[in-house]
Amino acid sequence: MTDAEIITRLCAQIDNADDVLEPREWRALADSLRARGLRPSELPALPEPKLRETAGKLHTARLRGLLKRGAAFDRKLAEYKSQGIGVVTLADAAYPGRLRKVPGAPPLFFYAGDLALTERPLLGFAGSRNPDALDIELTRLYVDRALKRGMGIVAGGARGIDREAVTEALTNGGFAVEYVCDTLSRRVKDEQIAREIAQGRRVLLSAVTPDAGFTTGFAMQRNRFIYANALATIAIAAENGRGGTWAGAIDALRHGFTVYVPNDEREGSMELIRRGAVPISADWDAAVKEPGQSGQLSLLDL
């Protein structure tokens, strides 16, 4: 088996009961392999003492069980493939480059579409599931200006701001990357989504099984992927101290990602600015200066 196939067997969850390696567990195992000059593809042939040494805190019985996943596992992957869903791992060159060294980056993604879109310039969007008219107007304004500069959109696939941003981009000839946290296998059956995937204008990625339902934990996990893959992300209508938009923006600031917020004087926006987010005005320019720079910083001068 190849390195990618080994990673898939160890880390791909196709059932909620699968005891696959978590990202931190895979990272520890990968570090151990590198330290010993080994590749993932060599794991199945390692004798028990060597495997035990390499596995560290992981139980070798668990590793061997995952490595021997059989016909049912292969059938499920084949079923996903028939739906247009593939697997990309850290061993593959096509894995989103901006995510490779991000804390918590998964060892693999299930995906549908052209992964090359993840390498193009992207503006991220995060925001309320229940936006008001102003939030929607601002989102469409920012998307349209991004498209004029040749950028695409990266968002999370949820209703509200995410969906508004992606719809605006695709309706106006742009492209979009979506990190979804649930029901990838259902989404790819949507005629509009399938058409945009076939046109090479939309790609969907999921770090969880394509059949997974929504959980808050998965949603928070994918927020970091959006911020990491974007040159900058606009957080719209964050509630001060609460909600997924707020939590995602705070996590992004903590990890050094670029976060912008509308300069709308709302409490959540103002607090994010105080914590390091960059305010943007209606004319698209940042309202603060970067260290060592003079004048205003254009949102897209990144």
Q: Which CATH number fits domain 115-280: 3.40.50.300, 2.60.120.1090, 3.40.50.970, 3.40.50.450?
A: 3.40.50.450
51-to-31, 57, 64, 65, 66 alpha-carbon distances in Å: 14, 11, 9, 13, 14
- In degrees rounded to 5, what are phi and psi of residue 135? -60, -45
What residue ranges do the domains of the chain occupy? Answer: 3-82, 115-280
pLDDT attached to residue 286: 43
pLDDT attached to residue 175: 98
Q: Report CA dihedral (137, 144, 234, 277) to the nearest 10 degrees.
A: -100
Strand 278-280 relative to strand 259-262: parallel, antiparallel, unpaired? Answer: parallel
Cα Rg for the chain, rounded, in angstroms?
21
Per-position pLDDT tens, the chain of length 302:
999 999 999 999 988 778 999 999 999 999 999 999 999 999 999 999 999 999 999 999 999 999 999 899 999 999 999 999 999 999 999 999 999 988 888 999 999 999 999 999 999 999 988 889 989 999 999 999 899 989 999 999 888 999 999 999 999 999 999 999 888 999 999 999 999 999 999 999 999 999 877 566 676 788 999 999 999 999 998 899 989 899 999 999 999 999 999 888 889 999 999 999 998 865 554 433 343 333 344 555 43
